[in-house]
Amino acid sequence: MEKQKYISVNGRNILIENEKNVLEVIRKANIELPTFCYHSELSIYGACRLCVVDVDGKGVQASCSIAPEDGMVVQTNTSEIRTIRKVNLELLLANHDIQCPTCDRSNNCKLQELSSKIGISQSRFKKTNVNFPVDDRSESIVHNPNRCVLCGDCVRMCKEVQSVGAIDFIHRGAQTRVAPAFGMSLADVECVNCGQCVSVCPVGSLTVKPEMDKVWDDLTNPNKTVVVQVAPAVRVAIGEQFGSEAGTISTGKMVNALKLLGFDKVYDTSFSADMTIMEEVQELLERKMNKGQLPLITSCCPSWVKFAEQYYPELLPNLSSCKSPQQMFGSVAKKLLPDMLGVDKKELVVVSVMPCTAKKMEAKRPEFSHEDIAEVDHVITTTELVKMISNAGIIYNELLPESFDMPFGFKTGGGILFGNSGGVMEAALRYAYEKITGETLIDSDFEIVRGESGLRTIEVNLPESTLKVGVAHSLSNARILCEQIKNGQSDIDFIEMMACPGGCVVGGGQPVSFDNNFKKKRTASLYNCDKQLQLHKSQENPYVSDIYKNELGEIGGEKAHHLLHTTYNSRKRISDISLDVRNSVNHKVKVSVCVGTNCYVRGSQELLKKLVVYVTQNKLQDMVGFEKQEETVDVSATFCYEKCDRGPVVSVNNITIEKATFAAVKKAIQIELEKCRIDMMV
């Protein structure tokens, strides 16, 4: 038998059980060291130096970045250690624009919490003079760099877990800050709006883009009829903001609070999730039967959809054409509720309460607006709903439970499961089993697709066939599956993709929890919600059946397809905005040089420099026939022309030059200038 290994923590021996660092071993001793940049799912960074301990023979060490060794002697609370922690925290405070009374993260801020625990009332260090503009152009996220303490949590989350890298450290020394490339807005780069950077930001530098004021305006407008839909994951997280344990189910209190806020009807997005299952499984079976393009990939998560549009447009035919449950609800509500409620369609307002920041972006997509009427008018997150309840003076914990309104408040357990990773797949299998076999499914649980692993493939054995399915959460895992499909290495039939690690229960709009087991608790609670219902299969929802019978006709039919399905578009060219490298204002010849990765390695950067020098040295703005000081030639850097194997790629007045050389581009510029001169003479 292998000898057990221990470390001594403040004189107590603690068993080492495959922990990757001393910090995790210390936590087993019921000692919660302060940490600021440590997240178990991210790489070890060791920037904040708050988790320092005294290791006998090694001195002061960051416990997050040192491996445990048998016989190690650790002290966690010496006078020296306490002083170091206090100084380090004061330095963080000096680098932070303190706006606690108005900050979205007030009372749920790691910096605030640690300052209280360590006993800091003020910082002795001179505050840094920072005054960067706040970026609020994104539909989902507000970035205030003045609050940033450079912990790097958001950067690592975006790179390592989501494999997007929309933000990073820019500049050096005292000028270092976190921002997108070239100082652009989050709205103009490859950000997928997942909000995981918001979830890990400990100081409110990245927050949810608020939409509460617009909702208040409609609620107080007597001419508006305002209905609200609530996503499954909200009900197992909202109570945490009012002091309940992580995962507490408070559906009835939440519904009561929404009615007290003034919503005319309160509905459940789980209803349209049931509808999504009907359409999606029908699409899967038709593809399998007709040898259509497989695997079919779910399209419920807008961050995943945008990720696919940006990085894997060649796989867009694999995505289900089904709208997400949010947009299905909006589409059905805008069609049916005006008659049901006796209101004008233009005066009907649909509000969503979502665990997800990307749903804000999704609702604004042009595909989901018809004749200037959006399917979903406003999206607020769980945390925004909490603020609205608090602002209204509602004592949440004293509320009695109330029920969702019918018919769109009725759901099955299958619809509820959409909030968990693997939940969409399980709900789909509950329907697919009966469709394929013709048998009634008695035990509806498919526990085989459940689990915490970020990437799993499962073979589901049916009586006369096998269905191979995949489940992925976090976009780095989605990328792995996409590469396999792209390279012809996948034989999977059906894949569920979710951007957030663990699914919607940990979406970017959910309350930030300091409970180390909050994900497990929220996940378990959603499965409990399923168990507490009498119906567990989406096809058993009688109100969904009525809508198909009276309004939509056949599942997957023409009417259903028109109302419940959509299309997707390549976003490989991430923005129509080019980067001006000459500070020009007016121009008559526009030159755009691709600086994407493939063109960069083929020399586009050097080509860009030569062109700037050429335009500047030749003073093209002073050419005969043109007004003084008017820019004649504008040179800018842009991104992918989707001709990656033919770079460098340059556009001169929308004429594309592949494998461009300086001589070829110079000649094209001269030709365009000559055209301009002739036009002016005419």
Q: Write the DSSP symbol of residue 347.
A: G
d(CA 249, CA 253): 9
Q: What is the largest CA-CA distance in the chain?
A: 95
Give the residue numbers annotated as catalytic, written as ranges: 280, 283, 300, 320, 359, 362, 367, 504
DSSP string, 621-671: GG-TTS-TT--SEEEEEE---S-GGG-S-EEETTEEETT--HHHHHHHHHH
d(CA 591, CA 633): 7
Distances in Å between the alpha carbon of 260 and those of 322, 390, 395?
34, 12, 11
DSSP string, 90-105: HHHHHTS---TTT-TT
Q: Write the DSSP symbol of residue 433.
A: H
User: Pairing relation of β-strands 378-381 and 348-354?
Assistant: parallel
The verdict on whether omega for the bond into residue 407 sits within 30 degrees of 0, i.e. cis, is yes
Q: Write the DSSP symbol of residue 15.
A: E
Neighbouring CB atoms inside 10 A of 56's CB total 11
User: Pairing relation of β-strands 655-657 and 59-62?
Assistant: unpaired
- Residues 6 or more apart in contact with residue 366 via CB below 8 angstroms: none
Give the pair of three-digit tokens for residue 40. Answer: 């178990």
- Residues 6 or more apart in contact with residue 423 via CB below 8 angstroms: 416, 417, 503, 526
Contact between residue 506 and residue 519 where contact means Cβ atoms under 8 Å apart? yes
d(CA 609, CA 594): 12
3-state secondary structure of 28: helix
d(CA 546, CA 566): 23
Fill in the amino acid letter for 175.
Q
d(CA 197, CA 212): 21
d(CA 140, CA 155): 17
* Side-chain half-sphere CA neighbours of 370 within 13 A: 11
Length of the chain: 682
d(CA 562, CA 332): 11
d(CA 369, CA 214): 18
DSSP H/E element including 608: helix 604-617
Give me Rg for the CA atoms of the chain: 28
With the C-alpha atoms ordered 515, 520, 521, 522, is the resulting torsion angle positive or negative? positive
Q: Write the DSSP symbol of residue 246.
A: T
Question: For residue 598, which of 553, 639, 557 has the smallest C-alpha distance?
Answer: 639
